[in-house]
A and B are shown apart, each in its own frame.
Chain A
Amino acid sequence: EAGVTQFPSHSVIEKGQTVTLRCDPISGHDNLYWYRRVMGKEIKFLLHFVKESKQDESGMPNNRFLAERTGGTYSTLKVQPAELEDSGVYFCASSQYDTQYFGPGTRLTVL
Protein backbone atom coordinates (compact mmCIF):
# COMPACT_ATOMS: atom_id res chain seq x y z
CA GLU A 1 0.00 0.00 0.00
CA ALA A 2 1.43 3.38 -0.98
CA GLY A 3 2.04 5.87 1.78
CA VAL A 4 1.38 9.58 1.86
CA THR A 5 3.23 11.34 -0.93
CA GLN A 6 4.12 15.00 -1.24
CA PHE A 7 5.36 17.10 -4.12
CA PRO A 8 7.75 18.81 -4.52
CA SER A 9 10.30 17.58 -2.01
CA HIS A 10 12.05 20.94 -2.07
CA SER A 11 11.05 24.40 -3.26
CA VAL A 12 13.14 27.55 -3.26
CA ILE A 13 11.31 30.76 -4.11
CA GLU A 14 11.75 34.47 -3.66
CA LYS A 15 9.74 36.57 -1.29
CA GLY A 16 6.51 37.64 -2.93
CA GLN A 17 6.24 34.64 -5.20
CA THR A 18 3.58 31.95 -5.06
CA VAL A 19 4.14 28.30 -4.25
CA THR A 20 1.73 25.37 -4.34
CA LEU A 21 2.41 22.21 -2.39
CA ARG A 22 0.61 18.97 -3.14
CA CYS A 23 -0.29 16.02 -0.92
CA ASP A 24 -1.68 12.64 -1.95
CA PRO A 25 -3.05 10.78 1.07
CA ILE A 26 -3.21 7.05 1.60
CA SER A 27 -6.02 5.69 -0.52
CA GLY A 28 -9.29 5.48 1.40
CA HIS A 29 -8.27 7.90 4.16
CA ASP A 30 -10.98 10.49 4.66
CA ASN A 31 -8.89 12.64 7.01
CA LEU A 32 -6.08 14.78 5.65
CA TYR A 33 -3.93 17.16 7.70
CA TRP A 34 -1.30 19.78 7.04
CA TYR A 35 1.45 20.54 9.56
CA ARG A 36 4.52 22.76 9.46
CA ARG A 37 7.86 22.68 11.19
CA VAL A 38 9.80 25.90 11.31
CA MET A 39 13.51 25.46 12.05
CA GLY A 40 14.20 24.62 15.65
CA LYS A 41 10.57 24.51 16.64
CA GLU A 42 8.00 21.81 17.10
CA ILE A 43 5.73 20.45 14.38
CA LYS A 44 2.57 22.56 14.38
CA PHE A 45 -0.90 21.82 13.09
CA LEU A 46 -2.24 23.92 10.23
CA LEU A 47 -5.55 22.37 9.20
CA HIS A 48 -7.67 19.25 8.91
CA PHE A 49 -9.90 18.08 6.06
CA VAL A 50 -12.58 15.44 6.32
CA LYS A 51 -13.09 14.40 2.73
CA GLU A 52 -13.40 17.74 0.90
CA SER A 53 -14.57 19.78 3.91
CA LYS A 54 -12.36 21.84 6.19
CA GLN A 55 -12.97 20.46 9.68
CA ASP A 56 -10.48 22.64 11.53
CA GLU A 57 -8.30 25.41 10.12
CA SER A 58 -7.37 27.00 13.44
CA GLY A 59 -3.63 26.60 12.78
CA MET A 60 -3.49 28.48 9.49
CA PRO A 61 -1.15 31.44 10.09
CA ASN A 62 -2.94 34.03 7.95
CA ASN A 63 -4.90 34.52 4.75
CA ARG A 64 -1.82 34.11 2.58
CA PHE A 65 -2.31 30.38 3.04
CA LEU A 66 -5.04 28.60 1.10
CA ALA A 67 -5.71 24.87 1.31
CA GLU A 68 -8.03 22.91 -0.93
CA ARG A 69 -9.09 19.30 -1.29
CA THR A 70 -11.31 19.12 -4.30
CA GLY A 71 -13.09 15.79 -4.66
CA GLY A 72 -11.82 14.61 -1.31
CA THR A 73 -8.65 13.05 -2.72
CA TYR A 74 -5.41 14.99 -2.99
CA SER A 75 -4.90 18.36 -1.36
CA THR A 76 -2.98 21.50 -2.25
CA LEU A 77 -1.59 24.19 0.00
CA LYS A 78 -0.89 27.50 -1.70
CA VAL A 79 1.17 30.28 -0.17
CA GLN A 80 0.63 33.63 -1.88
CA PRO A 81 2.59 35.84 -1.55
CA ALA A 82 5.34 33.98 0.28
CA GLU A 83 7.21 35.70 3.10
CA LEU A 84 10.57 34.86 4.68
CA GLU A 85 8.94 33.44 7.81
CA ASP A 86 7.06 30.86 5.73
CA SER A 87 10.27 28.88 5.31
CA GLY A 88 10.12 25.45 6.90
CA VAL A 89 9.08 21.88 6.25
CA TYR A 90 5.44 21.30 5.42
CA PHE A 91 4.12 17.86 6.29
CA CYS A 92 0.94 16.25 5.16
CA ALA A 93 -0.67 13.37 7.05
CA SER A 94 -3.72 11.21 6.53
CA SER A 95 -5.78 8.91 8.70
CA GLN A 96 -8.88 6.79 8.69
CA TYR A 97 -9.17 6.67 12.47
CA ASP A 98 -6.86 7.98 15.21
CA THR A 99 -3.40 7.21 13.88
CA GLN A 100 -2.02 9.76 11.43
CA TYR A 101 0.52 8.69 8.82
CA PHE A 102 2.89 11.34 7.57
CA GLY A 103 4.40 12.08 4.20
CA PRO A 104 8.08 12.94 3.70
CA GLY A 105 7.42 16.67 3.73
CA THR A 106 8.15 19.59 1.41
CA ARG A 107 11.05 21.80 2.41
CA LEU A 108 10.16 25.38 1.49
CA THR A 109 12.84 28.05 1.43
CA VAL A 110 11.80 31.65 0.87
CA LEU A 111 14.69 33.96 -0.02
Chain B
Amino acid sequence: DQQVKQNSPSLSVQEGRISILNCDYTNSMFDYFLWYKKYPAEGPTFLISISSIKDKNEDGRFTVFLNKSAKHLSLHIVPSQPGDSAVYFCAAMGGGSNYKLTFGKGTLLTVNP
Protein backbone atom coordinates (compact mmCIF):
# COMPACT_ATOMS: atom_id res chain seq x y z
CA ASP B 1 0.00 0.00 0.00
CA GLN B 2 1.71 3.15 -1.23
CA GLN B 3 1.14 6.01 1.17
CA VAL B 4 2.90 8.63 -0.97
CA LYS B 5 2.09 8.69 -4.65
CA GLN B 6 3.65 10.54 -7.53
CA ASN B 7 1.41 9.61 -10.40
CA SER B 8 3.46 11.16 -13.18
CA PRO B 9 6.61 9.14 -13.88
CA SER B 10 7.93 11.89 -16.13
CA LEU B 11 7.41 15.51 -17.10
CA SER B 12 8.95 17.54 -19.91
CA VAL B 13 8.94 21.36 -20.00
CA GLN B 14 10.63 24.13 -21.93
CA GLU B 15 13.36 26.22 -20.37
CA GLY B 16 11.92 29.34 -18.77
CA ARG B 17 8.47 27.84 -18.25
CA ILE B 18 6.94 26.60 -15.02
CA SER B 19 7.39 22.98 -13.88
CA ILE B 20 4.69 21.60 -11.60
CA LEU B 21 5.31 18.28 -9.87
CA ASN B 22 2.50 16.68 -7.93
CA CYS B 23 2.31 14.37 -4.96
CA ASP B 24 -0.60 12.78 -3.10
CA TYR B 25 -0.59 11.06 0.26
CA THR B 26 -3.04 8.89 2.13
CA ASN B 27 -1.77 8.89 5.72
CA SER B 28 -3.35 11.73 7.69
CA MET B 29 -0.64 11.36 10.36
CA PHE B 30 1.97 12.85 8.03
CA ASP B 31 2.79 16.35 9.20
CA TYR B 32 6.02 17.27 7.44
CA PHE B 33 6.75 17.03 3.75
CA LEU B 34 9.98 17.31 1.79
CA TRP B 35 11.05 17.42 -1.82
CA TYR B 36 14.35 15.93 -2.92
CA LYS B 37 16.13 16.13 -6.24
CA LYS B 38 18.26 13.24 -7.44
CA TYR B 39 20.81 13.06 -10.23
CA PRO B 40 21.99 9.65 -11.52
CA ALA B 41 24.56 7.92 -9.29
CA GLU B 42 24.07 10.51 -6.52
CA GLY B 43 22.04 10.56 -3.33
CA PRO B 44 18.84 12.59 -2.99
CA THR B 45 19.51 16.29 -2.39
CA PHE B 46 17.15 18.22 -0.13
CA LEU B 47 15.28 20.99 -1.94
CA ILE B 48 12.48 22.38 0.15
CA SER B 49 10.09 21.33 2.88
CA ILE B 50 6.77 22.33 4.38
CA SER B 51 5.11 21.73 7.70
CA SER B 52 1.44 20.79 7.85
CA ILE B 53 0.68 24.04 9.68
CA LYS B 54 1.51 25.97 6.51
CA ASP B 55 0.04 25.90 3.03
CA LYS B 56 2.96 27.43 1.16
CA ASN B 57 6.71 27.68 1.43
CA GLU B 58 8.96 29.49 -1.00
CA ASP B 59 12.71 29.38 -1.58
CA GLY B 60 13.98 31.18 -4.63
CA ARG B 61 12.65 29.50 -7.76
CA PHE B 62 11.05 26.70 -5.74
CA THR B 63 7.64 26.86 -4.08
CA VAL B 64 5.82 24.04 -2.37
CA PHE B 65 2.07 24.16 -1.86
CA LEU B 66 0.20 21.94 0.58
CA ASN B 67 -3.53 21.22 0.48
CA LYS B 68 -4.24 19.23 3.62
CA SER B 69 -7.90 18.63 2.93
CA ALA B 70 -7.05 17.08 -0.42
CA LYS B 71 -3.89 15.40 0.94
CA HIS B 72 -2.02 16.88 -1.98
CA LEU B 73 1.19 18.83 -2.40
CA SER B 74 2.92 20.28 -5.39
CA LEU B 75 6.35 21.68 -6.21
CA HIS B 76 6.54 24.63 -8.58
CA ILE B 77 9.81 25.56 -10.27
CA VAL B 78 9.83 28.96 -11.96
CA PRO B 79 11.58 29.56 -14.24
CA SER B 80 12.72 26.06 -15.13
CA GLN B 81 16.35 25.62 -16.17
CA PRO B 82 18.09 22.73 -17.96
CA GLY B 83 20.09 22.05 -14.77
CA ASP B 84 16.80 21.25 -13.03
CA SER B 85 16.55 18.06 -15.08
CA ALA B 86 16.57 15.25 -12.50
CA VAL B 87 14.29 12.86 -10.64
CA TYR B 88 12.20 14.61 -8.00
CA PHE B 89 11.02 12.69 -4.95
CA CYS B 90 8.24 13.68 -2.62
CA ALA B 91 8.66 12.41 0.95
CA ALA B 92 6.51 12.58 4.06
CA MET B 93 7.18 12.22 7.74
CA GLY B 94 4.78 11.15 10.49
CA GLY B 95 4.07 12.93 13.72
CA GLY B 96 5.70 12.77 17.15
CA SER B 97 9.01 10.96 17.33
CA ASN B 98 8.48 9.15 14.05
CA TYR B 99 11.21 10.51 11.82
CA LYS B 100 11.20 7.93 9.06
CA LEU B 101 10.56 9.26 5.58
CA THR B 102 8.04 7.63 3.27
CA PHE B 103 8.91 8.32 -0.36
CA GLY B 104 7.00 8.44 -3.60
CA LYS B 105 8.41 6.69 -6.66
CA GLY B 106 9.71 9.92 -8.17
CA THR B 107 9.06 12.03 -11.25
CA LEU B 108 11.70 12.47 -13.93
CA LEU B 109 11.75 16.13 -14.95
CA THR B 110 13.36 17.05 -18.26
CA VAL B 111 13.84 20.74 -19.01
CA ASN B 112 14.52 21.31 -22.69
CA PRO B 113 16.69 24.25 -23.81
Contacts and interface: CB of A to CB of B under 8 A. Distances in A.
Interface of A: 4, 6, 31, 33, 35, 41-45, 48, 55-56, 58-59, 91, 93, 95, 98-105
B111 interface: no
Nearest to B34: A99
Contact of B49 (A41, A99, A105): A99
Question: A55, A95, A102, A103: which has the most chain B beta carbons within 10 Å?
Answer: A102
A58 B94 CA distance: 14
B40 to A, nearest CB: 11
Given A41-B105, A98-B49, A103 B100 contact: no
State the main secondary structure of chain A at its contact with B.
strand
A91 B99 contact: no
14 contacts: A31-B99, A33-B100, A33-B101, A43-B89, A43-B103, A45-B100, A48-B100, A58-B100, A93-B43, A95-B99, A100-B34, A101-B46, A104-B41, A104-B43
A4 B99 contact: no
Interface residues of B, number: 25
Q: Which 3 residue pairs are nearest across A and B when measured between Cβ atoms? A: A102-B43, A45-B100, A43-B103
A55 B99 contact: yes
B45 A98 contact: no
A48 B93 CA distance: 13
Contacts, number: 60
A47 to B, nearest CB: 9
A45 to B, nearest CB: 4
B43 A4 contact: yes
B105 A56 contact: no
Interface string B42-72: 1111100100000000000000000000000
Contact of A42 (B46, B98, B103): B103
Question: B36, B45, B89, B100: which has the most chain A beta carbons within 10 Å?
Answer: B100
Contacts of A95: 99
Question: A6, A42, A55, A103: which has the most chain B beta carbons within 10 Å?
Answer: A42
Given A42-B2, A99-B49, A104 B101 contact: no
